[in-house]
């Protein structure tokens, strides 16, 4: 009987030791839980932004090119701000005289953008906050002049691809200073500058018919969202074009020749363009 009790006690001690050993192994092999890292949404390239006031102040279109570095957003210094998408009200197309560059941050799908630009009364600083779905962003904004509303941002409908791809635009224009009975026609071919591939620099040509003072232009400039700003240095001419959103297949543009231009001196006016559905190669 005494021997049986000793055997039972020994078994109990062995089992307890095994249990403790397993418990120790289990505790040592546990992995601390990790917090998943939230991936920041990507906001890069040509963008069109539209601010819609909820206080009766209409809409404001912003055209820019974003560069994202980590969680930081930087807009191009040639950003265009165009109240009512009106060519005559645009500011920022004459950088560095007026340089407008939005900045912001990205945290997961949350986006914040701040932009300051001159108005007829004072400098306006707009703060936009929103959420991204893919490459599109939507949210609300407030500004330093007492306005507020909603905003959206989306990638350019017609981004410029690498050379030799070009877009073909065609349309008509007429002089405001010296209107013609028959509006001249214009055909523009634009593509990304081959020497700065991947940038917003563009080059191209314009063929003009029925104009009494100009038949062609050699153009260089910038794509800004779906807008573009172009010059011909030799002809001393400049063009600013804005897309008609949301489709973005048509454009309004303004042009002007400097008073010292070799042809069409001092002339200025407006026109319309239509873009082909897709870029093509030379």
Q: What pLDDT, on the 0 to 100 scale, is given for residue 137?
A: 96
State whether residue 128 is helix, strand or coil: strand
Closest by CA position to 126, among listed 117, 115, 135, 136: 115
Q: What pLDDT, on the 0 to 100 scale, is given for residue 36?
A: 60
Give yes or no for residue 188 having a pLDDT over 90. Answer: yes
Q: Where are the beta strands (DSSP E) in 70-122?
A: 72-75, 80-83, 103-107, 110-118
Backbone angles phi, psi at 243, to 5 degrees: -75, 150
Dihedral sign, Cα of residue 197, residue 61, residue 130, residue 154 = negative
Contact yes or no for 197/169 (Cβ under 8 A): no
279: which 2 tokens? Answer: 């870029």
Q: What pLDDT, on the 0 to 100 scale, is given for residue 13?
A: 42
Q: What is the mean pLDDT of residues 257-263?
A: 97
Maximum distance among all Cα pairs of the chain, rounded to whole angstroms: 128
Contact yes or no for 267/256 (Cβ under 8 A): yes
Residue 13 parent element (H or E): helix 2-28
Q: What pLDDT, on the 0 to 100 scale, is given for residue 95?
A: 59
Q: What pLDDT, on the 0 to 100 scale, is given for residue 59?
A: 96
Q: What pLDDT, on the 0 to 100 scale, is given for residue 25?
A: 47
State whether residue 15 is helix, strand or coil: helix
Residue 233 parent element (H or E): none
Q: What pLDDT, on the 0 to 100 scale, is given for residue 195?
A: 73
Backbone angles phi, psi at 170, to 5 degrees: -140, 150
Question: What does pLDDT average to over the chain?
Answer: 86
Q: What pLDDT, on the 0 to 100 scale, is given for residue 21?
A: 44
Q: How far apart are CA 215 and CA 84, in angstroms?
A: 32
Q: What pLDDT, on the 0 to 100 scale, is given for residue 64?
A: 95
Q: How far apart are CA 110 and CA 103, in angstroms?
A: 14
pLDDT category, 20, cuts 50, 70, 90?
Answer: very low
Angle value at C-alpha 134, between 129 and 136, nearest 5 degrees:
50
Give yes or no for residue 35 having a pLDDT over 70. Answer: no
Closest by CA position to 102, among listed 128, 123, 134: 128
Please give the span between the terminal C-alpha atoms of the chain, in angstroms, as a whole number.
105
260: which 2 tokens? Answer: 């010292």
Q: What pLDDT, on the 0 to 100 scale, is given for residue 61?
A: 97
State whether residue 11 is helix, strand or coil: helix
């Amino acid at each position: 009987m005494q021997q049986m009790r000793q055997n039972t006690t020994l078994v109990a001690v062995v089992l307890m030791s095994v249990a403790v050993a397993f418990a120790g192994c289990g505790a040592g092999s546990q992995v601390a839980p990790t917090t998943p890292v939230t991936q920041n949404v990507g906001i890069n390239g040509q963008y069109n932004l539209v601010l819609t006031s909820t206080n009766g102040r209409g809409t404001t279109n912003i055209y820019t090119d974003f560069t994202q570095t980590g969680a930081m957003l930087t807009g191009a210094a040639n950003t265009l701000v165009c109240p009512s998408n009106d060519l005559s009200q645009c500011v920022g197309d004459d950088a560095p005289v007026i340089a407008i560059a939005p900045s912001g941050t990205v945290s997961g799908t949350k986006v914040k953008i701040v932009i300051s630009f001159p108005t007829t009364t004072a400098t306006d600083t707009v703060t936009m906050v929103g959420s991204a779905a893919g490459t599109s962003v939507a949210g609300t904004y407030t500004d330093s002049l007492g306005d507020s509303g909603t905003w959206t941002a989306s990638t350019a409908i017609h981004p410029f691809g690498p050379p030799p791809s070009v877009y073909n635009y065609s349309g008509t224009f007429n002089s405001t200073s010296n209107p013609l009975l028959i509006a001249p026609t214009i055909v523009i071919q634009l593509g990304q500058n081959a020497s700065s591939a991947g940038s917003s620099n563009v080059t191209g040509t314009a063929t003009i018919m029925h104009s009494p003072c100009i038949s062609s232009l050699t153009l260089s400039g910038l794509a800004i969202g779906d807008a573009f700003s172009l010059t011909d240095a030799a002809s001393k001419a400049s063009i600013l074009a804005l897309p008609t959103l949301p489709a973005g297949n048509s454009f309004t543009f303004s042009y002007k020749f400097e008073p010292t231009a070799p042809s069409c001196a001092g002339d200025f006016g407006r026109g319309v363009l239509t873009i082909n559905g897709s870029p093509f190669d030379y």
